[in-house]
């Protein structure tokens, strides 16, 4: 048994605005608030405390597996407060727990300071849309906001395949089926194959982890479904290269043709500290796949030119580069100049634009 009430600890972490909670023996509970690690005012945790937390977090039917757990993803709910995506894992022979906070209410696109074009992307009828970024960059939250937009504006059957289920969607105009890996499905690949026989209009695949899942997602998009998924890539160019690299060399050109045909947009994001120190705001690259972008997916020698064409498509298509996003956030006073330049892809060009040396219409930014 643990000496510490886990639910009370989580409530305190929630009030602090913690995005993540770290629980490990020989340390007090540590939370991440606005990207920074903070030690909570608790005693140092013992091995027995962590083991007690594990038993409390796991459903009754999974507790018999405790002696065999090396790494496990589960969800945990704090009624009336929020849900948590939990990873329980062994390190140096003892359990450790990392819990990611998931708000009880689903955020909207405007409330997250995301580009308005995401409202249009959420309503696409068919194809593939990928949300990318590092761990903790808000990919799941962005996808939840987009599905929330769809749920209030169109009537579709939506199947989500997640590990674990994070945001809980209530049926509004859409019908939602939410499947969790482990409890409801064996893995992403088999769940995605099964989804194609469940009359879906929209399929959300929590993460494309292997070649079978990527191939099936491409096939699903090609056969008229709308597929949303995530990748741990930094930007559109890297996303294209990552998908191609899943496949052996003799298949890569065929995959380029298929990807150019089905990919509709990529949304890549990084969380930047707010200028007032109260939270973070997303800087977002949006690539809308135009004919010019398709040519650069098809031809590996032209893939490097993708950022240039994202930049040029802002006025007509609503696309934008990271640096265009950073400039807008800075001009609105949401982030500091120092942080804008720190996270910029081309800091020298961005600095010149901030100083008015490069005009707003320049093709360089």
Q: What tens digit of pLDDT does each residue of 285-301 get?
A: 999 999 999 999 999 99
List the structure tokens of 317: 């298509």
pLDDT in tens, 146-196: 999 999 999 999 999 999 899 999 999 999 999 999 889 999 999 999 999
Q: Where are the domains of the chain?
A: 6-103, 117-320
Contact 83, 166 (CB under 8 A): yes
Quick one: what percent of the chain has pLDDT higher than 70? Answer: 98
Residue 292 in tokens: 């010019």
The 10s digit of each residue's pLDDT in 52-62 is 999 999 988 88
- In 93-122, which positions are buried (b, 16+ CB within 10 angstroms) versus exposed (e)? eebbbbbbbbeeebbebeebebbebbbebb
pLDDT score of 1: 64
Q: What is the mean pLDDT of the chain?
A: 94
**124 pLDDT tier (thresholds 50, 70, 90):** very high
**Model pLDDT, residue 358:** 65
User: Can you list the pairs that 105-111 forms with residues at least 24 positions away whose Cβ atoms lie under 8 Å?
Assistant: 106/144, 106/145, 106/147, 106/148, 106/167, 106/169, 107/141, 107/144, 107/145, 107/148, 108/145, 108/148, 108/149, 109/145, 109/146, 109/149, 111/145
The pLDDT of residue 103 = 85
Contact criterion met (CB below 8 Å) for 58 and 84:
no
Position 361 pLDDT exceeds 60: no
Mean pLDDT, residues 100-106 taken together: 89
For the chain, what is the HEC assignment?
Answer: CCCCCHHHHHHHHHHCCCCEEEEECCCCCEEEECCEEEECCCCCCCHHHHHHHHHHHCCHHHHHHHHHCCEEEEEEEECCCEEEEEEEEEECCEEEEEEEEEECCCCCCCCCCCCCHHHHHCCCCCEEEEEECCCCCCHHHHHHHHHHHHHHHCCCEEEEEECCCCCCCCCCCCEEEEEEECCCECCHHHHHHHHCCCCCCEEEECCCCCHHHHHHHHHHHHCCCEEEEEECCCCHHHHHHHHHHCCCHHHHHHHHHHHHHHEEEEEEEEEEECCCCCCEEEEEEEEECCHHHHHHHHCCCCHHHHHHHHHHCHHHHCCECHHHHHHHHHHCCCCCHHHHHHHCCCHHHHHHHHCCCCCCCCCCC
Q: What is the pLDDT of residue 108?
A: 95
pTM for the whole thing? Answer: 0.88
Model confidence at 84: pLDDT above 90:
yes
- For the segment 15-40, the average pLDDT, to the nearest whole number, is 95
The domains spanning 6-103 and 117-320 adopt the same CATH topology? no
**Residue 31 confidence (pLDDT):** 98
**Angstrom distances, CA of residue 343 to CA of 234, 255, 305, 346:** 12, 32, 20, 9
Q: Looking at the predicted structure, is the pLDDT value of residue 81 above 90?
A: no
Yes or no: say if 282 and 335 are a contact pair by the CB < 8 Å rule: no
Per-residue model confidence (pLDDT) at position 278: 87
At the top level of CATH, the class of 6-103 is alpha beta
Residues 6+ apart with CB under 8 A from 36: none
* pLDDT tops 60 at residue 304: yes
Instruction: Give the C-alpha separation, 144 to 167, whole Å.
Output: 7
CATH superfamily of 117-320: P-loop containing nucleotide triphosphate hydrolases (3.40.50.300)
For the chain, report the end-to-end CA distance as a whole number of angstroms: 58
Tokens, residue 345: 């892809």
């Amino acid at each position: 048994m643990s000496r510490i009430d886990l639910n009370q600890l989580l409530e305190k972490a929630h009030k602090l605005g913690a995005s993540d909670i770290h629980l490990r023996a020989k340390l007090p509970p540590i939370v991440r608030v606005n990207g920074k690690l903070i030690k909570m005012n608790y005693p140092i945790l013992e091995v027995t405390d962590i083991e007690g937390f594990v038993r409390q977090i796991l459903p009754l039917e999974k507790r018999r597996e405790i002696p065999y757990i090396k790494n496990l993803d589960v969800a945990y709910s704090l009624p009336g407060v929020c849900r948590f995506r939990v990873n329980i894992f062994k390190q140096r022979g003892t359990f450790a727990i990392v819990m990611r906070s998931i708000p009880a209410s689903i955020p909207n696109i405007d409330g997250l300071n995301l580009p308005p074009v995401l409202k249009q992307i959420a309503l696409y009828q068919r194809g593939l849309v990928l949300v990318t970024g590092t761990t903790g960059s808000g990919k799941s939250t962005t996808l939840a906001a987009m599905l929330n937009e769809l749920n209030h504006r169109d009537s579709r059957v939506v199947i989500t395949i997640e590990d674990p289920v994070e945001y809980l969607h209530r049926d509004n105009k859409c019908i939602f089926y939410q499947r969790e890996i482990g409890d409801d499905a064996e893995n992403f690949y088999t769940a995605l194959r099964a989804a194609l026989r469940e009359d879906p209009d929209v399929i959300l695949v929590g993460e494309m982890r292997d070649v079978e899942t990527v191939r099936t997602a491409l096939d699903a998009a090609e056969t008229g479904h709308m597929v949303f998924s995530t990748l741990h890539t930094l930007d559109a160019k890297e996303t294209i290269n990552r998908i191609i690299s899943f496949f052996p060399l003799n298949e890569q050109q065929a995959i380029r043709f298929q990807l150019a045909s089905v990919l509709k947009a990529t949304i890549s994001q990084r969380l930047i500290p707010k200028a007032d120190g109260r939270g973070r705001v997303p800087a977002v690259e949006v690539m809308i796949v135009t004919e010019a972008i398709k040519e650069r997916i098809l031809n590996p020698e032209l893939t490097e030119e993708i950022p240039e064409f994202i930049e040029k498509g802002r006025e007509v298509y609503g696309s934008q580069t990271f640096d265009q996003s950073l400039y807008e956030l800075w001009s609105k006073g949401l982030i500091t100049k120092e942080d804008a330049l720190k996270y910029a892809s081309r800091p020298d060009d961005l600095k010149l634009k901030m100083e008015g040396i490069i005009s707003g219409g320049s093709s360089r930014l």
